[in-house]
A and B are shown apart, each in its own frame.
Chain A
């Protein structure tokens, strides 16, 4: 038994101190591909809603007001699974390495994206225009006469 105890002490002392003083010291380096906070590139978003469909926490809410589609990301519910990033056809949603997200107010973790869509003349629902030129006209970037 004594041998076991001495071996234990030896193993322990040989290992040294392995704890890091974080947060009083720097955070350890994160691996590439670490799944942290979700960010959205609002300019690239086309409002397709694939992310809302895929999210297991159902945190993405889509609302339409006329031709303005709003996507609300309630990231306090996020589980960092990266399904939204995986299914986004435009690469507009991606995960960053940011993990220090504790906050006292939920609004800090809300992202709102507004996308201007075309609306169907018959039913009034939003859709994404087929042509990039149409898209530019709808978003007001181009004059209606096609110039």
Chain B
């Protein structure tokens, strides 16, 4: 494992400081589809600053206050495992599994937040988050493992190198498509923003969180934008690659922007699905991704 401190700062810095900009771009695009002007692109920064300055209404339950901190911390740690333009700062053997675990910790933090809120809306939100997590994570796992099978390694950067060298295979294309499909759910966007459904359950897990802790929770959601899309473009769309840090970083961020635009577009033209409808859909996606894995195991 090689820890490159400057790269670590870059990764976490981008996850923290660039992701609100991505959120702002998504909101602007959504507004454009709504035929309205929309908030300024820097609005998420202003929102976070405002929330951080508000009164921190302490809940009686200390674990409730810890959950948003845990959500952000685990997402930022996961960002340290992503190769961005080069080797990941904390990358090492098996970092694919470590990444999935940190993503899992983030989901568990959100679930705790809803459960500990003692609100029926929080309970509903948490139960939906649990169901979604259990159906969406396996696809993520299978998609990454499909690439790992080819690369014969569980190190994310090895996956990147293998894909770059060998080009798209049928199985990796299937894995990429599956990953893209569950990306909407991972990022909590329509049609799969079921856990936070505003008009149905008043915000779900985050209902009892306010002020600075809400800022941290929102920030963790925004950071996931960068983390997941960056992972996707690095592993599954690694071309072109110059093997020099700054140009590669720029290319990655450009591709991230493109994916973010697509996610925003899909978010704007879809209603929210019901949890059972979403589960049925993701079951189908899981089957498809398993087919991809099977193909990878037989060599294509």
Residues of A participating in the B interface, judged by any CB pair closer than 8 Å: 5, 8-9, 12-13, 15-19, 21
Contacts and interface: CB of A to CB of B under 8 A. Distances in A.
Interface centre among A12, A13, A21 (most CB of B within 10 A): A12
* Shortest beta-carbon contacts, A-B, top 5: A19-B36, A12-B33, A15-B35, A18-B35, A5-B269
A8 B36 contact: no
B283 to A, nearest CB: 19
Interface of B: 32-37, 265, 268-270
Nearest to A15: B35
A19 B269 contact: no
B269 A17 contact: no
Contact of A19 (B35, B265, B268, B270): B35
Contact of B36 (A5, A9, A17): A17
A17 B28 CA distance: 12
Looking at chain A's contact residues, the main secondary structure is helix
B35 to A, nearest CB: 5
Contact of B33 (A9, A18, A21): A9
Contacts of A19: 35-37
A40 B36 CA distance: 40
A17 B37 contact: yes
A19 B37 CA distance: 7
Interface centre among B34, B35, B36, B37 (most CB of A within 10 A): B35
A9 B269 contact: yes
Contacts of A16: 35
A22 B32 CA distance: 18
Nearest to A8: B269
B35 A9 contact: no
Contacts of A17: 32, 35-37
Contacts of A9: 33, 265, 269
Given A9-B33, A19-B36, A19-B37, 5 more contacts: A8-B269, A12-B35, A13-B32, A15-B35, A18-B35
Contacts of B37: 17, 19, 21
Nearest to B265: A9
Nearest to B270: A5
A21 to B, nearest CB: 7
B36 to A, nearest CB: 4
A15 B31 CA distance: 12
A5 B34 CA distance: 14
B36 A18 contact: yes
Interface centre among A16, A17, A21 (most CB of B within 10 A): A17
Contacts of A8: 269
B265 to A, nearest CB: 7
A12 B35 CA distance: 6
Nearest to A14: B35
